[in-house]
Copies of this chain bind each other. A is one copy, B any other.
Amino acid sequence: MNAEILCVGTEILLGDIANTNAAYIAQGLARMGFGVYHHTVVGDNAERLKNCLSIAFGRCDLVFMTGGLGPTYDDLTKETVAAYFGRELKTDPECLRQLKESFARSGRPMTENNLKQADMPEGAIVLPNPFGTAPGCIVEDGGKAAILMPGPPREMIPMFDGPVQDYLSDKIDGVLVSRNINIYGIGESAVEQKLRPLIAHMKNPSVAPYAGRGELRLRVTARAENAEAALSLVEPVVRDIVAELGDYAYAIDAKNLEQEAVRLLAEQKLTLATAESCTGGLLSARLTDTPGASAVYLGGVVAYANQAKIELLGVSPATLEAHGAVSKETAAQMAEGAALRLGSDMALSTTGIAGPGGGSPDKPVGLVYVALHCRQTGTEVLELQLARGRQDDRENIRQAAASRALAMVIRHLRGGRPLIGA
């Protein structure tokens, strides 16, 4: 069954707020298995709203609407929907009672135009609004239905999650199950090219890519009669994709690199410290953004100035003199110093040239060294060139260096174990 989302409101139309309602409703509908092929935003204008309704019902059966249920003269969603379905608006006695109660409780005076909020299209299913004064409603006719919800998200969300989803549960077949494959170190188009023979024309399960901050997620979703049957469709595809991608696939159903690194550290009861130069705190900010990080992440040093590298990390002035701050040797000493000073099992360090200034022919912008020190296995240093010649390279280089450092920890801790059972 197909659905559309039609949001009414000048604030969205003029860009004063982003249309988060559409995103929320779309996620819920996708999860339930409704096809959603269009979102539309229109202002509080009866003629244009009516045209949008006609276009939407010409393409689908369910139209989810938000906004325009307020008390003012430019709130006209109920009026327009009633007219579209050839219904009258009538005062709903139960809505009126609740409206009066709500005003009495709040002590605010109820004005004439507030009465309008108790009007409902004849025959509509009323959707109570415990978080505001505007109830929603559902108007059905000939297999089509308009679902009207209020505009403020704190009123819309509980209405959608409650009575609207109850209403929808009768209309769906089977269940949907998804698994996500987390991918790092390869671009979206290269992944697509690698996987095309495997997943082109695949319908159930479907495979969809989602690009995040320097990483990628493939979501494999199947629909079946029950969760077990859906999962048995999903799992072989996940296994094939992971086999095809090899080490680029770093986790199943992780949120991101930092969360997977924290999870593996916790699982193996190991602690981590950081020593950052070019990433300037980004690596530790990403680690500590993950709830539970405090159990495994002891802390770190942001050593921008050379003096900080010497004082706080014990980097030798001779090394800085001979090889420079951006060098394999300095990176190694930074990681070793962080592990020693913070008493951690492992430590990551970054040093490089994030730009836009500071590059030289010898050490160009984008040159980054990332080191991983492990108490048991010693220190490994990667030399990377992360510049992509773009104007926002500074941010890219910093993020890419932090991501690469996290990926080093993940690969080390996984130690070649397969992601998914054969």
Contact = CB atoms under 8 A, between A and B. Distances in A.
B302 A301 contact: yes
A25 B71 CA distance: 29
A206 to B, nearest CB: 10
A42 B38 contact: yes
Nearest to A300: B302
Interface in A9-65: 10-20, 22-30, 36-43, 45, 48, 52, 55
A20 B22 contact: no
A23 B18 contact: yes
Nearest to A132: B390
Interface of A: 10-20, 22-30, 36-43, 45, 48, 52, 55, 70-73, 101-102, 105-109, 111-114, 130-132, 154, 158, 187-190, 192-193, 208-210, 274, 276, 279-289, 291, 293-294, 297-305, 307-308, 311-312, 341-343, 356-358, 385, 387-392, 394-395, 398
A386 to B, nearest CB: 9
Contacts of A111: 189-190, 193
A304 B282 contact: no
A392 B153 CA distance: 12
6 contacts: A15-B27, A38-B48, A107-B385, A276-B281, A280-B285, A281-B286
Contacts of A274: 281, 302
Contact of A311 (B189, B276, B341): B341
A293 B302 CA distance: 13
B390 A130 contact: yes
Contacts of A39: 12-13, 19, 39-41
A71 B19 contact: no
A39 B107 CA distance: 39
B291 A299 contact: no
A283 to B, nearest CB: 7
A37 B27 contact: no
A279 B303 CA distance: 17
A71 B291 CA distance: 36
A299 to B, nearest CB: 4
A193 B113 contact: yes
Contacts of A101: 389
Contact of A14 (B26, B105, B113): B26
A302 B299 contact: yes
Contacts of A19: 18-19, 22-23, 39
Given A22-B15, A298-B307, A307-B342, A282 B280 contact: no
A108 B72 contact: no
Contacts of A208: 10, 14, 16
A358 to B, nearest CB: 8
A113 B37 contact: no
Contacts of A16: 23, 27, 208-210
B311 A342 contact: yes
